[in-house]
Chain A
Amino acid sequence: MTALLTISVLVLVAIAIWQMTKIFELSQLHAKKSDRGEVATDEDNKNNGILMFAFLVFIYVLTIFSFWKYGKFILPEAASAHGDTYDTLLLWSFVVIFVTQTITQFLLHYFAYKYRGKEGKKALFYADNDRLEFIWTIIPVIVLAGLILWGLFTWTDIMDVNEEDDPLIVELYAQQYNWTARYGGEDNVLGGANVRMIDINRANVLGLDESDPNATDDVIVKELHLPVGRKVNFKMRAQDVLHSAYMPHFRAQMNCVPGMITEFSFTPTITTAEMRLKPEIIDKVARTNALRAERAAAGETENIDPWEFDFILLCNKICGRSHYNMQMKIIVETQEEYEAWIAEQQTFGQTMAMNE
């Protein structure tokens, strides 16, 4: 595969150079005919004007090709309550962008083709037109005002982290290069914590305040389980450098900053099990596993095991050499499943007691 691609690159470059020398020779002939030196002749204007039009076609084709071939790679349906609003706003912004892109690129390249220079042609001395300029100032103003307002209302909604509707409180703790989650336990209140209280020897890895009664029932885990339909308030902490808790399927992201606690809140709406049954996910898994099987057949040893879809938490702020592999699995499940799972986990108090 690699060899093939490398060769194809080399071939393409060779072709390019060969074409170039040809054009070069041709041009030498022309240069003799019309002595304009290195300044464009009518011939040059014509050729490049036509190429400009061809380039317009290229942009359109590239766009269509990319959507057709790569459109399916775009993140699947949002699995959080605010995610739907997010996706709708995104869709409309894209509509605006694509309409503008299609029209302006057309005008630009079409004019470049249509008005290519010819000896003796007169350009139009056209320096100003207040009406026109007003129109293309006011249209973006109106469209953008709409998008801004819509965006701002959504933003205020999403970023309003409050205690209404009895949210589940979860801490996401980031360090080079892994994630830990902490639940408030029975009382749903996180115990006080600071990196200065970290005691590795006693397995107090998150620096919980051992004298804080709220900390005793906290549950510390390496896999994030969330009950579907219940709001979750995340409190992010980082112990060493900046990290970012990125949960793309939930349209959620917040940086984790040493020295402060940042927050984000969302309500998961689709369980992992339900997600796995969505046609687009089934397709994606099938495509991916086909690739993996191919790799296995080719005798490779890594990344060949079949994959099953899972929500995932990624680190999205450069944090060092293994930044690319800083992840945690997220499992969204029913309330009952969640309760069964959390009941099985050890509390912080129990862990400490074991260490005494």
Chain B
Amino acid sequence: MNDVASTFKRIPAEDLAWLGTNPVPTKPYYDPAYFELERQSVFLKSWIHVAHLCEVPEPGSFIRCDLEFARASLLIVRGRDDRVRAFHNVCPHRGTQLVDEAAGRQSKFSCPYHMWTFGTDGALLSAPDFDAFHVDKADCSLVSVRLEECGGLLFVNFDQDAPPLRDWLGAYAERLEQMPVARATTFAQYSYDIAANWKLTYDNFQENYHLRFIHPRSGGAGIGGDNQFGYPATMGFEGPHRTQRIWSNPAPDLKPFQRAAAMRGIPPLAEQGLLDLPYGRDYLAFFPNLFIIGTPTQPFSHTVYPISADRSRGVVRVYWVGEDRDASHRFAREYSVAQIRDIHCEDIAMIERGQNGLASGALKHMHFQSMEALCRHLFNEVDSRVQEHARRMGDVL
């Protein structure tokens, strides 16, 4: 990997002071009323990552995607015209959920209740005894939801007035397009339910302050030398989104088997040109709840879907280009996924402890230091939307 920093320079606190330095209120991290405003002003208004293009490779390929925050089930399907669309997974006749399977491929979708049948473009193709209805077929299409793609990632937006995805992603769109995820054809996935607020969960993954305490072994390679906390080399901000460049430890403490396992995955990555991508040390955080890591040996996304003020669902995907080509390749990928899962599981314990503490109401405020600036930025971005929404609704928070 390129540009290995031999010495670590801590980002000066002054560079981040524009984000504010005050303590942050705790209520937004457990209060159901705040969560409801957040649901309306953040999640129903932002582009939300739901899937990857590789999940709908051919015309008729579909996935079902349930989004608790919208109380919605979506059907994401590639049409015969090759366009990928999202619809509410709801039959326009009387509301029955159309598709039960998590994924599949078919040319038509028939509702089991009274057999209304839809095409991959959502149009009603046929309905038994339709003449007895008092409506036109053209008015009985599946209800569509805005869906746009960038870097292989599919996003939906429940707000008809939201700007296009590319405008929303700003300058980070191009970075995303140069990450391995943009070329991915397959992925490994693990997921978890957590008794914690989505921000508290997400924040854990945007600060390195905890690494040396929570991941002394599993995350050992990312800390050391003159950077005992493994703080990032740089941070950046782009509208509601943010980034950090992971510090390159010049002398990572890799164990022999660990090194051997990683090496097994290098030749295919080199041949695919994935080792020389420009953002290979970068973490890109897309507001509100997705981040992507460009590390070629472990290119993963992590999305934290809110369920309620104190419940969330996390989905981690390690994105790969091409199928496993041989035993070595398969082995390296298995090791890579298991290794990152080891690190993530150590976080879960702390996050739930944090939620328990905050939910007690014992603290009115909590504190972010400068190296927790990304957490503060997320709070700022959420809170400004929530406050604005509350003002418009005449609510007092």
Whether A and B are associated in the same complex: the answer reads no
Interface set of B (CB-CB < 8 Å, partner A): none
Interface set of A (CB-CB < 8 Å, partner B): none
